[in-house]
């Protein structure tokens, strides 16, 4: 069997040696044929799949790698779909990229192919945050757009995300239809290149100003910033696309004391100072936190390489910096926005916020307090964008996000935006100090006293290969057939199944429909307010378990004890479900 696979791989690799590929690529393929059969198999045993969000993979030669040819096939397929979908129109597209190795080269190839297909193309002159690409599609009335990024993945990876007319990542039916067109590109000669370069227009700093001005419209407390403009803020762009625009946005809001982590302000796709450029991880944030400790900073901010995810660390009473999880960042930003909208008399019952189904229920409690509707949607920002699209002209979107460190305030962008989130986090810190004499961390603790102490946890169970994928599917089958009756002694009272789109009242057996897109997700809710969500990953060989527990918090003095008890509860749930 292995030999048969090797023969298939050699045949595919040989076609690259004989086809219309550049000499450097052919040389690398030849090297692998002669010296590294294992890597040759990995590179050619399948085609890199264009999934519902686009491409993501390790860079290198071959059909299963990110290179100008796999990027080319994806772009020609997308171009063919756009021509079908917008027949008779002059198609307009925007193209951006992050700081990863080869990102500029891939972006220029994408722009070239779109131009060669007769499209008007807007290409950024250098790296830019992913949310600015979403903004550009809307602002320039484009039909589609592409950003070259692998988000917070390790340095070996790159990726390709496709966007639709509203500036959101593609959703059904377009995602599947684009995949069909991409799969029809079976030969490198089907990809159009080298024509109509006059169709490519450059977007430069003038366009950044338009974007930054729109972000500044989100400002809710300019008078507080005026008083605390020199509050110390440490910021790290993680060698990525936030390097210029996050500090520029903070300055536009009025902050005058932004301290950059110099070593991480160097644009470098090798991410030399971190193992993985993910602001969710303390290790990744350590350089920024260490600098903040030396400077006595009030706030630590970081963005991932394409600047759509935000990392936040805040100082507690002991002077230690606590790294917030994505749920806490979301609750703070949403609470700040809703509080200020209410104080300014701007809530009239026609506003709403959005969160994903695996994000903290605390967001629902905050929204309910302000009489604002809170939508729950599937995981992925494109579903938040879908709700914004469906409410356009009917109700006003304030903000929303997901537990994976993404937040969007305002609807001028349709993807998570860490540029605006950083500015709002800093403004919230100035406002909390000005109006309540509290640090942002102290205000978070007060919010727990007010709404209840919600605490979340996550376990990812990895099962690799074909066998692993089957095991994950079997786990979901078993959970549906035999769901747990209790979690830590508290009976399960409700089960949400997003595959059947039914919510079951466990006591009565009554089923009610769930108004949602279909997805292979299960949720169990217990009598004591515990929530467990189970979701196989769409992009990786893993199944994720999300835990949400809660307890009343009588006073801030009881914070540490309650936190320890809730964390212990999450650990016990993991044991009960045999996940540790």
**Active site members:** 151
Annotate 557-573 with three-state secondary structure.
HHHHHHHHHHHHHHHHH
The Cα–Cα gap between 494 and 550 comes to 17
H helices of 217-355, in order, are 222-227, 242-253, 282-295, 326-343
Q: What are phi and psi of 97, to 5 degrees?
A: -155, 165
Closest CA to 156 of 276, 266, 236, 41: 276
SS3 18: helix
- Quick one: which of 363, 414, 349 has its CA closest to 386? 414
Whether 308 and 139 have beta carbons less than 8 Å apart is answered as no
Question: In b/e form, how buried is each residue of 17-33, taking b as 16+ CB within 10 angstroms?
Answer: eeeebeeebeebbeebb
527, 490 Cβ separation under 8 angstroms: yes
Element of type H or E holding 122: strand 120-124
The single-letter DSSP state of residue 111 is H
Dihedral sign from CA coordinates of 420, 422, 426, 431: positive
**Cα 241 from chain centre:** 15
Asked if 370 contacts 338 with a C-beta cutoff of 8 angstroms, the reply is: yes
One-character DSSP codes across 369-437: HTT-EEEEE-SSHHHHHHHHHHHTTTSEEEEEEETTTEEEESSSSSS--HHHHHHHHHHHHHHHHHHHS
Beta-bridge partners for 549: 455
4: which residues sit within 8 A by CB, 6+ positions away? none
| Closest to 422 (Cα-Cα) out of 340, 254, 580, 303 | 303
Pick from 315, 302, 308, 311: nearest CA to 231: 315
The half-sphere exposure of 540 on its side-chain side, counting CA atoms within 13 A, is 8
Q: Tokens at residue 492, please?
A: 């399960």
Helix/strand/coil (H, E, C) string of 340-361? HHHHCCCCCCCEEEEEECCCCC
Torsions phi, psi for 353 (to 5 deg): -125, 165
- What's the CA gap between 406 and 311, in Å, rounded? 9
Distance, C-alpha 458 to centroid of its chain:
16
């Amino acid at each position: 069997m292995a030999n048969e696979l090797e023969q298939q791989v050699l045949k595919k690799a040989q076609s690259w040696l004989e086809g219309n590929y550049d000499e450097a690529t052919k040389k690398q393929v030849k090297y692998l044929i002669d010296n590294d059969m294992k890597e040759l198999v990995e590179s050619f045993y399948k085609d890199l799949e264009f999934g519902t969000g686009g491409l993501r993979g390790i860079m290198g030669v071959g059909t299963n790698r990110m290179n100008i040819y796999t990027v080319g096939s994806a772009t020609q397929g997308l171009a063919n779909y756009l021509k079908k979908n917008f027949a008779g129109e002059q198609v307009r597209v925007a193209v951006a990229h992050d700081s990863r190795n080869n990102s500029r080269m891939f972006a220029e190839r994408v722009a070239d192919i779109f131009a060669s297909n007769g499209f008007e193309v807007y290409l950024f002159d250098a790296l830019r945050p992913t949310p600015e690409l979403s903004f550009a599609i809307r602002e320039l009335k484009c039909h589609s757009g592409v950003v070259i990024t692998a988000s917070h993945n390790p340095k070996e990876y790159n990726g390709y995300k496709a966007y639709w007319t509203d500036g959101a990542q593609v959703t059904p039916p377009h995602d599947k239809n684009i995949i069909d067109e991409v799969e029809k590109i079976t030969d490198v000669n089907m990809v159009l290149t080298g024509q109509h370069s006059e169709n490519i227009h450059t977007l430069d700093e003038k366009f950044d100003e338009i974007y930054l001005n729109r972000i500044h419209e989100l400002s809710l407390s300019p008078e507080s910033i005026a008083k605390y403009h020199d509050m110390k803020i440490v910021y790290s762009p993680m060698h990525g696309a936030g390097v210029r625009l996050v500090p520029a946005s903070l300055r536009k809001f009025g902050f005058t004391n932004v301290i950059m982590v110099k070593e991480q302000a160097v644009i470098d796709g090798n991410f030399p100072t971190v193992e993985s450029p993910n602001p969710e991880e303390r290790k990744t944030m350590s350089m920024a936190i260490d600098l903040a400790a030396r400077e006595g900073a009030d706030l630590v901010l970081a963005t991932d390489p394409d600047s759509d995810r935000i990392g936040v660390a805040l100082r507690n009473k002991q002077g230690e910096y606590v790294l917030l999880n994505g749920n806490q960042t979301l609750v703070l930003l949403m609470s700040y926005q809703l509080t200020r909208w209410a104080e300014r008399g701007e809530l009239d019952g026609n506003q709403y916020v959005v969160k994903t189904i695996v994000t903290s229920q605390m967001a629902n409690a905050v929204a309910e307090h302000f009489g604002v509707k809170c939508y729950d949607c599937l995981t992925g920002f494109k579903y938040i964008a879908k709700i914004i699209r469906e409410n356009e002209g009917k109700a006003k979107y304030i903000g929303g996000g997901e537990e994976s460190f993404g937040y969007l305030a305002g609807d001028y962008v349709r993807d998570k935006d860490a540029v605006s989130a950083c500015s709002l986090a800093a403004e919230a810190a100035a406002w909390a100090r000005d109006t309540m004499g509290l640090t942002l961390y102290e205000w978070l603790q007060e919010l727990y006293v007010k709404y209840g102490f919600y605490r979340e946890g996550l376990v990812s169970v990895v099962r690799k290969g074909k066998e692993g994928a089957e095991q994950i599917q079997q786990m979901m089958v078993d959970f549906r057939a035999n769901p747990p009756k209790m979690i830590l002694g508290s009976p399960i009272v409700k089960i949400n199944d997003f595959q059947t789109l039914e919510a079951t009242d466990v006591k009565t057996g009554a089923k009610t429909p769930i108004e949602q897109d279909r997805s292979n997700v299960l949720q169990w809710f217990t009598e004591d307010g515990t929530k467990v969500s189970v979701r196989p990953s769409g992009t990786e060989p893993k199944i994720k378990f999300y835990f949400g527990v809660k307890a009343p918090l009588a006073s801030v003095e009881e914070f540490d004890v309650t936190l320890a008890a809730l964390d212990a509860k999450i650990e016990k749930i993991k044991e009960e479900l045999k996940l540790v």
